């Protein structure tokens, strides 16, 4: 005789099969959107540092996490379209280095968390309510220290006491604080300042032409993603014109700039992975304070100094955290 199966028993069997099927389904792999103003080449050191940070938290790209890269190739007008594309992909978090990328991501979504590794002034741009309490869906790490711009001028003058004319390459869309600090420091050192705006490749060529006309002795770049995108051409023209320069981070000095002083950019990108990890584990961006830079480094490129015929005083070299020979 066939055994009868009771209704409760049948329900229990079906429930067990359902749980077994769910257990066999693969876990969802988190997806990160990486929105970049420049190219894969210009951002390679930062991206590698970010990967290193992810590995420290146990993430392996392509296995336990997926990263969707979108590069604007220096055309900031493309960022909006690329940000919307990441939103359509339903990424879990967007990492956007630089102010233009964060602006585009903010316009594209109100719900997906946005992490920035290095924005000059997130409060001034309206990305966060305050550094301690962001209050929205955006947070990250700032490289904002306006006084550093003045410090760079002082270091440049100390290294090259003979300079009297200083050009400043900047994006006019950035907050004025850094430029004001540059002007104040230059005035205290009796330096004449020439302000040059950079928003595209043509502006770079025009700026160096104007520097030549005004007989600038040296130049400084103020931190902004658009200016950084043109790093290669700026340094090429600086070498051709034998113009000494100082910059906001060591990536510039390592690429051929004479000097740099500022936060450790590699550290900032690596720390951004910590924010991503917290978001993926359920934290809210509004509850994650914006991290301010605490570590600063002076880098001097002696190879560049030699190429343009300069000698850096021993007392300045002695203060460098890194000397490129």
Q: HSE, CB side, 13 Å, CA atoms: give it for residue 213.
A: 8
In this prediction, residues 4-32 reach a mean pLDDT of 61
Whole-number pLDDT of residue 176: 77
Higher pLDDT, 4 or 124: 124
Q: In the β-sheet with 192-197, what is the strand arrangement from edge to edge?
A: 192-197, 165-170, 218-221, 245-247, 259-263, 296-301, 322-324
Residue-wise pLDDT tens digits, 231-251 = 999 999 999 999 999 998 888
| Beta-bridge mates of residue 324 | 301
Query: What are the boundaries of each domain within the chain?
Result: 31-144+265-295, 147-263+297-324
Residue-wise pLDDT tens digits, 153-168 = 999 999 999 999 999 9
Residue-wise pLDDT tens digits, 253-281 = 999 999 999 988 889 999 999 999 999 99
CATH architecture of 31-144+265-295: 3-Layer(aba) Sandwich (3.40)
| Beta-bridge mates of residue 169 | 196, 221
Q: How buried is residue 152: exposed, middle or buried, by Cβ count under 10 Å (0-12/13-18/19+)?
A: buried
Higher pLDDT, 263 or 109: 109
Whole-number pLDDT of residue 252: 94
Domain spanning 147-263+297-324: which CATH class is it, in words?
alpha beta
Residue 5 reports pLDDT greater than 70: no
**Total length of the chain:** 325
The whole-chain average pLDDT of the chain stands at 90
Q: How buried is residue 299: exposed, middle or buried, by Cβ count under 10 Å (0-12/13-18/19+)?
A: buried
Q: Which of 15-19, 139-143, 175-179, 231-235 has the lowest mean pLDDT?
A: 15-19
Q: Residues 243, 219: contact at Cβ < 8 Å?
A: yes
Q: Which of 5-9, 132-136, 167-171, 266-270 has the lowest mean pLDDT?
A: 5-9
3-state secondary structure of 194: strand
Higher pLDDT, 21 or 154: 154
Please report the DSSP string for 165-194 in residue order: EEEEEE-TTS-THHHHHHHHHHHHTTPEEE
3-state secondary structure of 81: helix
- CA gap 126, 308 in Å, rounded: 42
Q: What percent of the chain has pLDDT over 90?
A: 71
* Ramachandran area for residue 73 (φ above 0: left; ψ -120 to 50: alpha; else beta): left
Q: Residues 248, 171: contact at Cβ < 8 Å?
A: no
- CA gap 285, 134 in Å, rounded: 7
Nearest 5°: phi and psi at 238? Answer: -65, -40
């Amino acid at each position: 005789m066939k055994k009868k199966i009771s209704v409760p028993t049948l329900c229990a069997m079906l429930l067990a099969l359902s749980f077994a099927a769910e257990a066999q389904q693969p876990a969802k792999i988190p997806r990160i959107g990486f929105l970049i103003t420049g190219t894969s080449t210009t951002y390679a050191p930062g991206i590698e540092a970010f990967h290193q940070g992810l590995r420290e938290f146990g993430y392996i790209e392509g296995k336990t996490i997926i990263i969707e890269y979108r590069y604007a190739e220096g055309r900031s007008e493309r960022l909006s379209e690329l940000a919307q594309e990441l939103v359509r992909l339903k990424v879990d978090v967007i990492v956007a280095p630089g102010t233009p990328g964060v602006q585009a991501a903010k316009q594209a979504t109100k719900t997906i968390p946005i992490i920035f590794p290095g924005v000059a002034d997130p409060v001034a741009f309206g990305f966060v309510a305050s550094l301690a309490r962001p209050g929205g869906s955006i947070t990250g790490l700032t490289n904002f220290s306006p006084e550093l711009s003045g410090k760079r001028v002082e270091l440049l003058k100390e290294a090259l006491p003979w300079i009297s004319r200083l050009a400043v390459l900047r994006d006019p869309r950035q907050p004025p604080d850094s430029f004001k600090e540059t002007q104040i420091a230059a005035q205290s050192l009796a330096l004449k300042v020439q302000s040059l705006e950079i928003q595209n490749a043509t502006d770079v060529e025009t700026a160096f032409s104007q520097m030549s006309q005004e007989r600038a002795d040296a130049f400084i770049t103020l931190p902004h993603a658009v200016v950084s995108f043109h790093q290669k051409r700026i340094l090429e023209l600086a070498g051709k014109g034998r113009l000494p320069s100082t910059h906001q981070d060591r990536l510039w000095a390592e690429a051929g700039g004479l000097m740099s002083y500022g936060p450790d950019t590699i550290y900032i990108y690596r720390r951004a992975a910590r924010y991503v990890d917290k978001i993926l584990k359920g934290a809210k961006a509004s509850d994650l304070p914006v991290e301010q830079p605490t570590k600063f480094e002076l880098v001097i490129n002696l190879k560049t100094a030699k190429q343009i015929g300069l000698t850096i005083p021993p007392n300045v070299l002695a203060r460098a955290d890194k000397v490129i020979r």
